[in-house]
Each structure stands twice: as structure tokens, then as C-alpha cells.
Amino acid sequence: MKVVIVESPAKAKTINKYLGKDYEVLASFGHVRDLPAKDGSVRPDEDFAMSWEVDSAARKRISDIANALKGADELILATDPDREGEAISWHLLDVLKQKKAIRKDTPVKRVMFNAITKDAVTEAMANPRDIDEPLVDAYLARRALDYLVGFTLSPILWRKLPGSRSAGRVQSVTLRLVCDREAEIERFKPEEYWSVGARFNQKGKSFEARLFSVDGKKTDKLSIKNEAEATALRKIIEAGNFNVSNVEKKPTRRNPYAPFTTSSLQQDASSRLGLSPSRTMQIAQRLYEDGLITYMRTDAVQMSPEGIDQARRAIAKEFGADYLPEKARIYQTKAKNAQEAHEAIRPTDMFKHPDTMRNSDPDQARLYGLIWRRTLASQMKSAEIERTTADIAVNVPGRDIELRAVGSVVTFPGFLALYGVEAKSTDADEDDEDSRELPPLAIGDKPALEEALIEQHFTQPPPRYTEASLIKKMEEIGIGRPSTYSATLATLKDRDYVRLDKRALVPEDRGRIVTAFLESFFRRYVEYGFTAGLEEQLDQISAGELDYKQVLREFWQDFSNHIAEIKDLRVSEVLDALNDLLTDHIFPPRADGSDPRRCPNCGTGQLSLKLGKFGAFIGCSNYPECKYTMQLSDAATGNAETAGAGDGVLGADPESGEEVFLKSGRFGPYVQLGDGKDAKRSSLPKGWAQEAMTLDKALQLLSLPREVGLHPETGLPISAGIGRYGPFVLHDGKYANLSDVEEVFTVGLNRAVDALAQKAANGGSRGGRATPAAIKTFEHDDGPITVRAGRYGPYVNQGKINATIPKDIKPEDVTLDQAVQWIAARAAQTGGKARKAPARKATTKKAATKKKAAEKAN
């Protein structure tokens, strides 16, 4: 019996079909050990010795593998064909050796297959090799670098920038890209310009031409600066006669795109299918494990000879010989050291048409179709296009004005018949001239003027990055690798450093402050060139050209020295640097030209960035005399005059006569009754917009908590209010949630008593909810697994372990393999232990005395 180890159960199931009864295929569920998230896991003083920890969930899997090896003739490590896959095999082998689970005479082989097909698996088994040590060294270097940067830099962030999260080697540089683009947008000053042209008619067909030259001088986009110039040119055109002075027809070719890499797949899936990079990789993983596509983490664009041959035969079948070039197209990878998968992403069977996927998961079918079309298109003939340029002279005495019309006709679609070119992202005023078709024109023709055209425009700032365009930029400058792109972006969103706004990445204030801090005090380590250079060194390690320990020594010597210099940095120095670097963002110019840093409350203080327990805010330099504060978001949008103390008066309280204010504080908008330190305040609940606040609504909030009535059984009061966890009713120290905020003001005694009773019946846990009914149930060796819809979203459950289902997967679509993976991952995070009830607090001496006195009184 031969034992084969792969990463996932789905992959194991597929491979098991190909290998037969002489093989036992087991899944490791990814990595079986990792660096513990604590100090000392990487020790530079011990020449970068690393401590690895096997998580509790992995212990059982390793035990299963060890048991299988007792009677095995051979161990075959068949993890993924890249750096991470090599590392998983290395970890497994090292752990099994430590457990003495492998006999000295048991052969250990490493095999790789780029696709999970019978031919690929059979060929891999026939050509085993040893573990690639340089590839493992590159993995160790990357893990050590990421650990050292994260665990050294993050504590400094926490101390110097309260409210900040951690910093990472690649994430910080990627965040800087997003923040730099935002700063570019803020600094951008629109420039006015005008377009001038005309609409003509030639033999019943309209076409447009644009101004090309004036008095012998060629014009460009910004040549016409104002309406007066544009109007004068329009009058000249309207007064002229026209003739075609030159016609040029030029045949051109448009070549197909290369097959997909990880980066280009994520970009096209985003622009054409609307899929996020993480969702794209999740679907691609399933397609790979089902044997439908080759390995999906690669930056290689070349295809195997077998793949090319199959693609060419599929093209001949689908489109005919006319669409097949005489010779196969060979693409070369531009990356200096492409990911170790060695082949582009392609279908394993080119004859499997996307139409056969109609009964599959819709997103899987769409992504497979995209990969299929791109792969076949890459081997098709070029599109043939005839581009026509016609110059039209405007005959006006004393002036030399020329217009130009450009159009094109596709004479042979070639690859465009299968994989059309994406629409260009341009301003509304910039037509794609190549998409227009001109009527037949010849020198001497005199087209009739239909209308002279002028239009005002303004230059546009550079667009914000989308996830796809940011990945493209990361690839261009050499930051990260295919396997890290989507994870890096997910980390930035999870840490609230960036947010998605209509697919655009917008840096949050927290992210901008972290970037400004790192640029001020760790500039070298967030420079694009430095990070790209480090990636090149890691690639050289994987190629066996560099010693990974030497790379770590050189990095750590400079980095640790810099940390020592920064460690004693005063907070005032940090604030001065951030104020300077973020001035354009937090103190934009005011419309009236006054000092944007002047305090609008006291009039004499200077506004400055401040750091509090929960993060950064804007405050006055005259504190504590002036307690003006403002959120960064208000500062960035120029709302300084209406933020903070004295935002606005909603009216007067009819009972007390005191004014009711609407204010913006560090923790969001709130209402306040009267002035002074002891004035009553109430935050606006979720869903209540600041601009929709009225005096009545403010008084309602300020009246809380309100008494609903006396409980019929205990005679004790029931009150209603809004707390940290939303609207509630309270009786004798026990809370019950209400359905929405509005109910706080209307809830009656019967409804309140019923809510409290339901809470008690459900065990008194927060939220008062019983375990939801199972949507699906799976039988499993370790106990049944159920799919349920919980209060905070759908989840899977096994025993006392709950694992959240990803947002993009419907509960009813969950498979057993997915559920097992999520349960295993969750068990690894929690240590696989049941959640215990909180320990009973020890009785204090004071409480014991009080209890004894109460018992005596009774």
C-alpha cells in the first residue's frame, strides 16, 4: 500500500479515482503547523532559529497519516506545485520524522502535477523527485521576514498610534499604493479645455471629425482653453467650405492576449464578471480540484505542448481552419522568476465546452467559460482591421483649419470572434475613434456640414484603484506573488485600512495615518523599490542562487538598528510629522481663504491631529479651556465650521427651556441638552441620519430610558432604552432585545413582559434566541455536521464547534467537503476545545460580609 498526501479532501477524492486500490489518499487540510503568534517564534540571536507549532486540529490528521504509514510501502507527497505546496510537504515530512512515524526503509517521494487529470497524475507518479530545498528555503525566508516585520513593527504602532492595527511587510506597501493614489486625487486641480469638431454627411451617412490643426499648428486635447476660443473656431467652421484633402487606409492587426496568469485571471474576472479576487480564487480552487483547469496560482503564460495541440484542434472544430494560425503561438513569461507551476491557467480538456457547465454552480460555469475562451483565443489568428484616416480642409480666406476623421472596420475578426476586447475606461468626452466606421471617402469629396460642435470639459484626476487594477500595479512593480494578492487585499479590508466603494478602494483615515507614520519613520521599508528588491532576493533563494540566512541577516541588521532609533520617539514628534504629511487631507483650504487650522470654536487655537484610546481625531491646541473636537472624516470634507462644539441648535426643550444641540464627536454624531460638563447627551442610534434629525427626535432620545410600567408579577419597573447591543427592555437587572429602535418609544407593558418571558425561556443568553433549525445535515465520522442560519449569518456546526459560512456562498449550496474544511479551520483557531461557561468569580470579603448580613436579617 502506498500513502499519498494532498491538501484537500476534494483533491484526495478526485485523485483516489485515478490511482486505485493500491493507494490510500489522505488530506492534510493545508498546513499542519505554523509559527506561534507570540514573541520568540523567530530568534535572530540564534541565527534565525524558528519554532513551529502543530495545531490541535492537525494533530489528529497527522495521527491518521502516521497510522496509515504503519503498513505502507511508500510515502508520496503530492501537494500543490508551488512554494506553499513544497512547504506543506516539508512540514509534513519533518513532523512525521519527529514522531518516528516513517520507517528508515520507507521511500519518501515528492510528486507534482499541474492538473488533476488521470494522465497528469499517472505521469507525476512515474516521475517523482526529492523535496526542493531551495524552494523551502525561500518559504522559510518569507515567513521569517513577515514575522519579524509584523511582530517588531506592530507593537510600535500600538504604542505610538492608539487604535491602529498591525503592520505587515507586503500589506503596508500595498496600503501605501492606495493612499498615494488618494493623495494624488486630492492634490489634483481640474483644468478646463474645449473640444471642437463637426458632424458631416457624405452620401446620406453621418460621421464626425475633430479639430486637427489651426494655421499649420497641430492641436492636442488641451489646446483650446476657453469658450471664447472654441466659439471663434466654431464660427470659422460654420462659414467655410469643405473638401477631403487626404485619405489614408492602413491595415492593422490586433493580436490575442496570452493565456491567464493568476493576476490576469483576477483582473478579467473582476472587469468582465464582477467577481472579487478572493471569490475568483475560491471558484478557481474548486475548478482545479474537480480536474477542470490547471493549477490556478502561477505567473507563467506558457502552455504545455499537449495543451497547445489540444487548443488548436478545438479551434479547428469550433471555428474552422480559417481561424487557426499556421504555427502555434508561443508566449514567454515576463516575470524574472515565475511562480513554480510552470504553466498558464487553462482547461484540462479544451473540448469541454462551457455550455456543458450549465447545470453547475453559476459562478463556476462563468469562470470556467472565461478561462476556456481566453485559452482558445490565445491560439487563434489575429484580428485584421482596416483603419481609415481622412483629413478635411476648412476653406476660409486667411485661415488654415483642418479637421480629421478616424474610423476602422474589422475585416477579419480572428480571436475577437471568441474573446472581445474590453471596453476602454475613458472620460465621456473621449470616444474610441477606432470603434467608428466612416462612409467611403476619397480625395476631393465635399461632405456637407450638418453641425459644428464645441463642448466644455475638465481634466479628470487619476481613478481610484479597484481590486483588479491594484493587483495589476502590484504585479508591475514586483510586490507580492500570485498566491498572496487576494489575501493581502483581504487583510487591508479586515483591518479597516481600506473600504470598497462601488468597486473602488478608498483608504480609511486609520489606513492613511498608518501609512503616514510608516512613511515618516520607516520610509525605506514601505518604498516600492525596496520591497520589490526583497521579492527578487526571495526569488533568487528559490532558484538556489542566494543563502536565505544571509538575506535575513542583512535585513535584520538594518531593520533592528532602525527600530532602536525609533523606539523612544515621543508622541509629539509623531503628531508633528502626521500633521505635516496629512495637511492636504485633514486641513483642506477653506472657501473663504481663512486659516484651515484655526479653531472655529474659540477662534485662537490651532487644530491638530490628536491620538486617543480609540484612534485619531482633531482637537484644539487650547485644550482643556477649549474642548473642541472633530472627526477626521469631517475635517477631510471641509466641515470644520459645523463640526464639534456648537454644530447646530435644533431648538429649545419646552420643559426646561434649554437648547438642544446636534453635535459631532470622536465617536460619531450625538444630541445634547444644554451646556456644561454635566449636560445630558445621547448618541444617534444606527440608522438615524444626522441630516434627518429634528427637535422631536432629539427629545425622544434624550428622554431615554423611559419607564414602560410595573411588572405584573414582581411589581418592579420595566424600562426601555438603547444600549451597546441595540434597543432593549430591562427588568430587575435582566435585559431582552427589541426588534428595532422605533419600538423603544412605543413598546407597551404586554409586549415588554412577553419579550422578557421569551428571553427567560431561551435560557437567558444574550439575544434570547434558541438554536436555529438545521437547513442541511451531513453524516460524518466525527459526528453529524449541520448547516444553520444564525443571528449573525449562516454557519456550519459539528459538536461544539461553529464555523461561519463565507458571505458569497448560500447555506443551501454548502457541500460536505466545504463544511469539513471550515470546521477544521475553526477548530485550529480555537484549539478544538468546547467553549466553557465563564468561571464563577471568587467571592470577595466585602461580598461575603454583605451576604451574611442579608441572611441574618432574614
Could you give the maximum distance between any two Cα atoms of the chain, in Å? 118
Cell readout for 562 is 532602525
What gap in Å lies between CA 632 and CA 616, rounded to an integer?
A: 7
CB 294 within 8 Å of CB 262: no
CA atoms within 13 A on the CB side of 326: 0
Give the orientation angle of helix 277-289 with respect to helix 485-494, to 10 degrees. Answer: 140
824-832: average pLDDT: 71
Which position has the higher pLDDT, 655 or 257?
Answer: 257
The residue ranking higher by pLDDT, 359 or 719, is 719
Quick one: average pLDDT of 30-38? 87
Which tens digits make up the pLDDT trace of 361-370? 899 999 999 9
Beta pairing, strands 668-673 & 448-458: unpaired
Question: Is residue 382 classed exposed, middle or buried when 0-12, 13-18 and 19+ CB atoms within 10 A define those classes?
Answer: middle
For residue 705, is the peptide bond before it cis, meaning its omega torsion is within 30 degrees of 0? yes
SS (H, E, C) 86-150: HHHHHHHHHHHHHCCCCCCCCCEEECCCCECCHHHHHHHHHCCECCCHHHHHHHHHHHHHHHHHH
* Contact in structure between 505 and 470 (CB atoms under 8 Å): yes
CA quadruple 573, 577, 580, 582: dihedral sign: negative
Three-state DSSP state, 434: helix
Most confident of 293-297, 482-486, 661-665, 755-759: 293-297
The domain 192-255+384-458: what is its CATH number?
2.70.20.10
Half-sphere exposure at residue 506, Cβ-oriented, CA atoms within 13 angstroms: 10
Nearest Cα to Cα of residue 257 among 433, 465, 418: 418
- Rounded-to-10 torsion of CA 552, 51, 802, 821: 70
Q: Which helix (H) or strand (E) holds 804?
A: strand 801-804
Read off the amino acid at residue 363: D
Distances (CA, A) of 649 to 214, 659, 664: 59, 7, 12
- Note the helical H segments in 478-570: 485-494, 509-521, 528-542, 548-566
Q: What pLDDT score does 648 carry? A: 62
Distance from chain centroid for Cα 681: 37
- Among candidate residues 193, 295, 465, 670, the one labeled active-site is 295
What per-residue confidence (pLDDT) applies to 580?
82
Q: Is 735 a catalytic residue?
A: no
Neighbouring residues of 196: CB distance < 8 A, sequence distance ≥ 6? 210, 211, 224, 230, 233, 234, 237, 452, 453, 454
- Kindly provide the residue ranges of all beta strands, DSSP E only, lying in 526-678, ordered along the sequence: 607-612, 615-620, 629-630, 648-652, 659-665, 668-673
Residue 388, SS3 per DSSP: strand
In single-letter form, the type of residue at position 406 comes to: V
pLDDT tens digits for range 788-812: 877 667 888 887 788 888 887 888 8
Q: Per the confidence metrics, is the pTM higher than 0.85?
A: no
How far is it, in rounded angstroms, from Cα 480 to Cα 339?
11
Check residue 139 and give its pLDDT. 92
- 629/203: higher pLDDT: 203
Topology (CATH level 3) of domain 262-381: Topoisomerase I; domain 4 (1.10.290)
Q: What is the pLDDT of residue 607?
A: 86
176/589: higher pLDDT: 176
Contact 140, 84 (CB under 8 A): no
Q: What is the mean pLDDT of the chain?
A: 84
Query: Cα–chain-centroid distance for residue 367?
Result: 19
CATH number of 165-187+479-572: 1.10.460.10
Query: Please, where in the chain does CATH 1.10.460.10 lie?
Result: 165-187+479-572
Query: For residue 771, what pLDDT is reported?
Result: 55
Of all residues in the chain, the percent with pLDDT exceeding 70 is 88
- Which pLDDT score, from 0 to 100, does residue 857 have? 42
Q: Higher pLDDT residue, 853 or 370?
A: 370
Confidence of residue 838 (pLDDT cuts 50, 70, 90): very low
H or E segment to which residue 681 belongs:
strand 680-683
- Domain 2-131 has what CATH class? alpha beta
For residues 206-222, give the mean pLDDT: 93
CB count within 10 Å of CB 372 equals 24
Which grid cell sits at 715?
A: 411589581
SS (H, E, C) 684-746: CCCCCCHHHCCHHHHHHHHCCCEEEEECCCCCCEEEEEEECCEEEEEECCEEEECCCCHHHHH
Domain(s) labelled CATH 3.40.50.140 in the chain stretch across: 2-131
Q: Is the pLDDT of residue 348 over 80?
A: yes
pLDDT given for residue 384 in this prediction = 94
> How many CB atoms lie under 10 A from the CB of residue 737?
19
What's the CA gap between 213 and 220, in Å, rounded?
9
Classify each residue of 208-225 as buried b or exposed e, where b means 16 or more C-beta atoms within 10 Å of its C-beta. bbbbbebeeeebeeebbe
**Boundaries of CATH 2.70.20.10 in the chain?**
192-255+384-458
Residues 737, 719: Cα–Cα separation, whole Å: 12
Taking a C-beta distance cutoff of 8 angstroms, is the pair 363, 278 a contact?
Answer: no
User: Which residues sit opposite 2 in a β-bridge?
Assistant: 23, 74
Give me the residues paired with residue 75 across strands: 3, 108
Report pLDDT digits (tens) over 40-68.
899 999 999 999 998 888 888 899 899 98
pLDDT tens per residue, range 745-794 = 888 888 888 888 888 877 654 444 455 667 888 877 677 888 887 766 78
Q: What is the DSSP letter of 294?
A: B
Residue pair 794/806 in contact (Cβ under 8 Å)? The answer is: no
Chain CA centroid to CA 768, Å: 35
For 193, the 3-state DSSP assignment is: strand
